Amino acid sequence: MNVPLEIDAVVLDCDGLLVETESGWTRAETAIFAENGFGFGPAEKQLLIGGTLEAGGAAMAQHFGQPGTGPALAERLAHLVWNELGAGAPALPGARDLVCRLRDRGIPFAVASNSPRRFVDAALRSAGLADLFAVVVTADDVDHAKPAPDLYLRACADLAAEPARSVAFEDSRTGIASARAGGLFVVGVPSVPGSTLDADALYGSLADPDLQSWAAAVHQSSPACER
């Protein structure tokens, strides 16, 4: 399915989509699994990718057979990931070009991330993308994070956009479920090789020429009174 050319807005995930933070998250997750006597591979990654810190802690507690340790595991994960972010995280290929093309076309856009605000702000700064985003919605800003639709609905509301006429960019199953629940058209760009994403359109990278061409041609929907 082709990505719509007439839209209200674009909402993008951050980790693994705009910024190459996923390897840092994986190193942190691998360390915690090792600390608890477990290996970490693709199956374990799928338990955690795209979720909040709290959800990750709960998933690890269940996997380790350690009831009640979810909050402590989430705190440990937050500490390790924050250290990883401190080492720097680059923008992923095509990220800045895509967003700049959207800006040039007058398309409103925002970030909607399951990470805490301090993590998202640090990632965007490290990647040199913070100057592009006036609207950033994080897990700290909603009652229910992804896979609930709250983040996408809040971002669309902040952009004065109709979700059904907006496009989401996601790299994980959890994020795609959230965007779908919100009624957005979903573009999947997997950050983990081999991931199967139930998106409306799939690309291997934001740098894909077809996707960049779309961003250079897209235009804003007509006001409701003119539809």
- Per residue in 136-152, pLDDT (tens digit) is 999 999 999 999 999 99
Tally the C-alpha atoms within 13 A of residue 191's C-alpha that lie toward its C-beta.
30
Rounding to the nearest 10 degrees, give the CA dihedral for residues 11, 199, 182, 115: -60
**Separation of alpha carbons 14 and 138, rounded Å:** 10
pLDDT in tens, 144-187: 999 999 999 999 999 999 999 999 999 999 999 999 999 999 99
Give the pLDDT of residue 223. Answer: 61
pLDDT band at 86 (very low <50, low <70, confident <90, very high): confident
The DSSP code for 139 is G
The C-alpha angle with vertex 182 and arms to 212 and 156, in degrees rounded to 5, equals 65
Question: Which H or E run includes 2?
Answer: none
Neighbouring C-beta atoms of residue 65, cutoff 10 Å: 9
Separation in Å, CA 48 to CA 20, 23, 134, 176, 226: 16, 13, 28, 14, 44
* pTM metric for this prediction: 0.89
**Separation of alpha carbons 82 and 69, rounded Å:** 20
The DSSP code for 138 is -
Place of tokens 């955690």: 48
Mean predicted lDDT score pLDDT of the chain: 93
Give the pLDDT of residue 135. Answer: 97
Q: Contact, 182 vs 142, CB < 8 A?
A: no
**Separation of alpha carbons 149 and 164, rounded Å:** 13
Phi-psi region of 183 (alpha: psi -120 to 50; beta: other; left: phi over 0): left
Q: Quick check: helix, strand or coil at residue 55?
A: helix
Separation in Å, CA 58 to CA 55, 64, 107, 126: 5, 10, 38, 29
pLDDT in tens, 47-82: 898 888 999 999 999 999 999 999 999 999 999 999
- Which phi and psi (to 5°) does residue 115 adopt? -85, 160
Q: Contact, 104 vs 215, CB < 8 A?
A: no
Residue 146 CA, distance from chain mean position: 10
- Which phi and psi (to 5°) does residue 9 adopt? -165, 170
pLDDT in tens, 196-206: 899 999 999 99
